[in-house]
Amino acid sequence: MNEFEFIKKVLISGFLSGIIGFEREKHGREAGLRTMILVGMGTTTILISSFRVYHIFSNFQNPILRIDPARIAYGVVTGMGFLGAGVIIKDKKRIRGLTTAACLWFVTSIGLAVGVDLYIFSFFLTFIALVILYFLKIFEKKIPIDRYNIIKVIGKDKQELKDYIEKIIEEYNFKIISYEIERDRVEGKFGLTYTVRYKSPQNINELFEKISEIEGLEKIELK
Protein backbone atom coordinates (compact mmCIF):
# COMPACT_ATOMS: atom_id res chain seq x y z
CA MET A 1 0.00 0.00 0.00
CA ASN A 2 1.52 3.33 -1.08
CA GLU A 3 1.41 6.62 0.77
CA PHE A 4 -1.38 7.99 -1.46
CA GLU A 5 -3.62 5.29 -0.03
CA PHE A 6 -2.66 6.47 3.45
CA ILE A 7 -3.58 10.05 2.49
CA LYS A 8 -6.95 8.85 1.24
CA LYS A 9 -7.63 7.09 4.55
CA VAL A 10 -6.76 10.17 6.58
CA LEU A 11 -8.93 12.44 4.40
CA ILE A 12 -11.92 10.09 4.66
CA SER A 13 -11.47 9.92 8.41
CA GLY A 14 -11.25 13.72 8.62
CA PHE A 15 -14.39 14.11 6.50
CA LEU A 16 -16.48 11.71 8.57
CA SER A 17 -15.18 13.13 11.84
CA GLY A 18 -15.91 16.64 10.58
CA ILE A 19 -19.57 15.75 10.01
CA ILE A 20 -19.94 14.89 13.70
CA GLY A 21 -17.77 17.86 14.66
CA PHE A 22 -20.05 20.21 12.70
CA GLU A 23 -23.02 19.13 14.82
CA ARG A 24 -21.05 19.82 18.01
CA GLU A 25 -19.78 23.15 16.67
CA LYS A 26 -23.32 24.20 15.76
CA HIS A 27 -24.41 23.68 19.37
CA GLY A 28 -21.45 25.65 20.73
CA ARG A 29 -19.69 22.73 22.39
CA GLU A 30 -16.12 22.84 23.64
CA ALA A 31 -14.86 20.17 21.22
CA GLY A 32 -16.21 21.23 17.83
CA LEU A 33 -15.38 20.94 14.16
CA ARG A 34 -11.60 21.33 14.27
CA THR A 35 -11.18 19.14 17.34
CA MET A 36 -13.18 16.26 15.90
CA ILE A 37 -11.36 16.41 12.55
CA LEU A 38 -7.96 16.37 14.23
CA VAL A 39 -8.95 13.51 16.52
CA GLY A 40 -10.28 11.39 13.64
CA MET A 41 -7.34 12.05 11.34
CA GLY A 42 -4.85 11.56 14.15
CA THR A 43 -6.38 8.25 15.15
CA THR A 44 -6.20 6.92 11.58
CA THR A 45 -2.61 8.13 11.26
CA ILE A 46 -1.61 6.38 14.47
CA LEU A 47 -3.24 3.13 13.36
CA ILE A 48 -1.52 3.30 9.95
CA SER A 49 1.79 3.92 11.70
CA SER A 50 1.13 0.98 14.00
CA PHE A 51 0.66 -1.39 11.08
CA ARG A 52 3.70 0.06 9.33
CA VAL A 53 5.81 -0.68 12.39
CA TYR A 54 4.51 -4.24 12.36
CA HIS A 55 5.28 -4.55 8.64
CA ILE A 56 8.83 -3.28 9.10
CA PHE A 57 9.61 -5.65 11.96
CA SER A 58 7.47 -8.62 10.85
CA ASN A 59 10.54 -10.57 9.73
CA PHE A 60 12.39 -9.86 12.94
CA GLN A 61 12.79 -13.22 14.68
CA ASN A 62 13.11 -13.04 18.43
CA PRO A 63 11.46 -15.44 20.94
CA ILE A 64 11.23 -12.66 23.56
CA LEU A 65 10.18 -9.67 21.47
CA ARG A 66 6.63 -9.89 20.10
CA ILE A 67 5.20 -7.28 17.72
CA ASP A 68 1.54 -6.44 18.32
CA PRO A 69 0.08 -4.14 15.61
CA ALA A 70 -2.92 -3.27 17.79
CA ARG A 71 -0.91 -2.12 20.79
CA ILE A 72 -0.79 1.52 19.69
CA ALA A 73 -4.55 1.43 19.05
CA TYR A 74 -5.05 0.33 22.65
CA GLY A 75 -3.13 3.39 23.78
CA VAL A 76 -5.24 5.66 21.59
CA VAL A 77 -8.48 4.43 23.13
CA THR A 78 -7.06 4.81 26.64
CA GLY A 79 -5.66 8.27 25.97
CA MET A 80 -8.95 9.44 24.48
CA GLY A 81 -10.50 9.01 27.92
CA PHE A 82 -8.26 11.78 29.27
CA LEU A 83 -9.10 14.11 26.37
CA GLY A 84 -12.81 13.41 26.81
CA ALA A 85 -12.58 14.21 30.51
CA GLY A 86 -11.24 17.64 29.61
CA VAL A 87 -14.50 18.70 27.93
CA ILE A 88 -16.73 17.66 30.87
CA ILE A 89 -17.75 20.68 32.92
CA LYS A 90 -19.61 20.51 36.24
CA ASP A 91 -21.48 23.48 37.64
CA LYS A 92 -23.89 23.82 40.56
CA LYS A 93 -26.91 22.31 38.82
CA ARG A 94 -25.70 19.96 36.10
CA ILE A 95 -22.82 18.30 34.29
CA ARG A 96 -22.10 19.41 30.73
CA GLY A 97 -19.94 17.86 28.04
CA LEU A 98 -20.76 14.17 28.45
CA THR A 99 -22.18 13.90 24.93
CA THR A 100 -19.19 15.76 23.50
CA ALA A 101 -16.82 13.42 25.34
CA ALA A 102 -18.73 10.46 23.93
CA CYS A 103 -18.44 11.99 20.44
CA LEU A 104 -14.66 12.22 20.83
CA TRP A 105 -14.53 8.56 21.79
CA PHE A 106 -16.87 7.66 18.91
CA VAL A 107 -14.81 9.65 16.39
CA THR A 108 -11.79 7.68 17.59
CA SER A 109 -13.56 4.44 16.72
CA ILE A 110 -14.39 5.80 13.25
CA GLY A 111 -10.75 6.71 12.73
CA LEU A 112 -9.70 3.19 13.69
CA ALA A 113 -12.30 1.67 11.36
CA VAL A 114 -11.10 3.78 8.41
CA GLY A 115 -7.53 2.81 9.19
CA VAL A 116 -8.34 -0.88 8.61
CA ASP A 117 -10.29 -0.25 5.35
CA LEU A 118 -13.80 -0.50 6.83
CA TYR A 119 -15.09 2.36 4.69
CA ILE A 120 -18.75 1.34 4.36
CA PHE A 121 -18.90 0.56 8.07
CA SER A 122 -17.35 3.94 8.87
CA PHE A 123 -19.94 5.81 6.80
CA PHE A 124 -22.65 3.80 8.51
CA LEU A 125 -21.25 4.72 11.94
CA THR A 126 -21.26 8.40 10.98
CA PHE A 127 -24.85 8.18 9.80
CA ILE A 128 -25.94 6.49 13.03
CA ALA A 129 -24.14 9.16 15.07
CA LEU A 130 -26.04 11.93 13.23
CA VAL A 131 -29.35 10.15 13.82
CA ILE A 132 -28.56 9.92 17.53
CA LEU A 133 -27.36 13.53 17.86
CA TYR A 134 -30.14 15.17 15.86
CA PHE A 135 -33.28 13.05 15.97
CA LEU A 136 -33.00 11.42 19.38
CA LYS A 137 -32.47 14.88 20.86
CA ILE A 138 -35.92 15.86 19.57
CA PHE A 139 -37.36 12.65 21.03
CA GLU A 140 -35.68 13.28 24.40
CA LYS A 141 -37.44 16.64 24.77
CA LYS A 142 -40.79 14.83 24.74
CA ILE A 143 -39.81 12.45 27.54
CA PRO A 144 -40.90 13.66 31.01
CA ILE A 145 -37.67 13.50 32.99
CA ASP A 146 -37.03 14.00 36.68
CA ARG A 147 -35.77 17.44 37.71
CA TYR A 148 -34.43 18.59 41.05
CA ASN A 149 -34.45 21.93 42.84
CA ILE A 150 -33.68 23.25 46.29
CA ILE A 151 -36.14 25.45 48.17
CA LYS A 152 -34.90 27.27 51.25
CA VAL A 153 -37.17 29.23 53.57
CA ILE A 154 -36.51 31.24 56.72
CA GLY A 155 -39.33 32.13 59.11
CA LYS A 156 -40.69 31.98 62.62
CA ASP A 157 -40.14 28.86 64.64
CA LYS A 158 -43.52 27.19 64.34
CA GLN A 159 -44.16 23.53 63.60
CA GLU A 160 -47.46 24.41 61.94
CA LEU A 161 -45.63 26.48 59.34
CA LYS A 162 -43.36 23.56 58.46
CA ASP A 163 -46.31 21.22 58.09
CA TYR A 164 -48.14 23.75 55.91
CA ILE A 165 -45.17 24.17 53.57
CA GLU A 166 -44.81 20.42 53.15
CA LYS A 167 -48.54 20.13 52.49
CA ILE A 168 -48.29 22.69 49.68
CA ILE A 169 -45.32 20.85 48.15
CA GLU A 170 -47.29 17.59 48.13
CA GLU A 171 -50.42 19.28 46.71
CA TYR A 172 -48.39 20.46 43.70
CA ASN A 173 -47.20 16.85 43.18
CA PHE A 174 -43.61 17.60 44.11
CA LYS A 175 -41.69 14.86 45.89
CA ILE A 176 -39.60 15.83 48.91
CA ILE A 177 -36.30 13.95 48.57
CA SER A 178 -34.63 15.37 51.68
CA TYR A 179 -34.79 18.33 54.01
CA GLU A 180 -32.60 20.10 56.56
CA ILE A 181 -33.67 22.15 59.57
CA GLU A 182 -31.80 25.03 61.18
CA ARG A 183 -33.16 26.68 64.31
CA ASP A 184 -32.13 29.91 66.06
CA ARG A 185 -33.58 29.75 69.57
CA VAL A 186 -32.40 33.26 70.48
CA GLU A 187 -34.27 35.04 67.69
CA GLY A 188 -36.98 32.41 67.43
CA LYS A 189 -36.35 31.69 63.75
CA PHE A 190 -35.80 28.55 61.78
CA GLY A 191 -34.57 27.64 58.32
CA LEU A 192 -35.85 24.81 56.14
CA THR A 193 -34.03 23.50 53.08
CA TYR A 194 -35.99 21.11 50.86
CA THR A 195 -34.69 19.11 47.93
CA VAL A 196 -37.68 18.41 45.68
CA ARG A 197 -38.12 16.22 42.64
CA TYR A 198 -40.63 16.77 39.85
CA LYS A 199 -41.33 15.94 36.21
CA SER A 200 -40.26 18.27 33.40
CA PRO A 201 -43.77 19.60 32.50
CA GLN A 202 -44.31 20.82 36.08
CA ASN A 203 -43.59 24.47 36.85
CA ILE A 204 -41.38 24.98 39.90
CA ASN A 205 -42.07 28.73 39.78
CA GLU A 206 -45.76 28.19 40.60
CA LEU A 207 -44.77 26.30 43.74
CA PHE A 208 -42.27 29.02 44.61
CA GLU A 209 -44.91 31.76 44.30
CA LYS A 210 -47.41 29.77 46.38
CA ILE A 211 -44.93 29.31 49.22
CA SER A 212 -43.98 33.00 49.00
CA GLU A 213 -47.56 33.94 49.88
CA ILE A 214 -47.33 32.24 53.27
CA GLU A 215 -47.38 34.70 56.16
CA GLY A 216 -44.52 34.46 58.61
CA LEU A 217 -41.77 33.78 56.09
CA GLU A 218 -38.92 36.27 56.06
CA LYS A 219 -36.94 34.82 53.16
CA ILE A 220 -37.35 32.21 50.46
CA GLU A 221 -34.77 31.01 47.93
CA LEU A 222 -34.99 28.75 44.90
CA LYS A 223 -31.84 27.04 43.70
Mean pLDDT on 71-100: 74
217 contact partners, CB below 8 Å, separation of at least 6:
153, 154, 155, 161, 211
- Please say if the pLDDT value at position 116 is more than 70: yes
100 and 183 in a common domain: no
> Which domain range does residue 177 map to?
146-222
**182 in the same domain as 97:** no
Same domain for 91 and 17: yes
How many whole angstroms separate alpha carbon 46 and alpha carbon 42? 6
- List Cα–Cα distances, 202 to 1, 146, 148, 211, in angstroms: 61, 10, 11, 16
Number of structural domains the chain divides into? 2
- Domain check: are 134 and 192 in the same one? no
Same-domain check for residues 118 and 35? yes
Judge whether 133 and 35 are in contact, CB under 8 Å. no
* Pair (197, 169) in one structural domain: yes
Secondary structure class of 177 (helix, strand, coil): strand
CATH of the domain at 210: 3.30.70.260
Domain boundary among 110, 141, 172: 141
Same domain, 64 and 151: no
182 and 96 within one domain:
no
What number of other Cβ atoms are within 10 A of residue 126's Cβ? Answer: 21
- pLDDT for res 172: 83
Q: Which of 111, 141, 171 delimits the end of a domain?
A: 141
How far is it, in rounded angstroms, from Cα 220 to Cα 101?
37
**Domain stops at, among 141, 156, 189:** 141
Indicate if 40 and 137 belong to the same structural domain: yes
pLDDT of residue 135 exceeding 70, the answer is: yes
Q: Do 81 and 171 lie in a common domain?
A: no
Kindly report the average pLDDT of the chain as a whole number.
Answer: 79
Question: What's the Cα-to-Cα distance from 148 to each of 59, 99, 211, rounded to whole Å?
Answer: 62, 21, 17
- Specify burial of residue 162 (Cβ count, 10 A radius: 0-12, 13-18, 19+): middle
What does the angle CA 98 – CA 102 – CA 144 come to, to the nearest 5 degrees?
A: 50
pTM exceeding the 0.85 threshold for the entire prediction: no
Same domain for 213 and 171: yes
The whole-number average pLDDT for the span 110-130 is 87
User: Is the pLDDT confidence value at 6 over 80?
Assistant: yes
Report the distance separating Cα 123 and Cα 215, nearest Å: 63
Question: Identity (one letter) of the amino acid at 15?
Answer: F
Same domain for 216 and 129 = no
Residue 64 and residue 52: Cα distance in Å, rounded?
Answer: 21
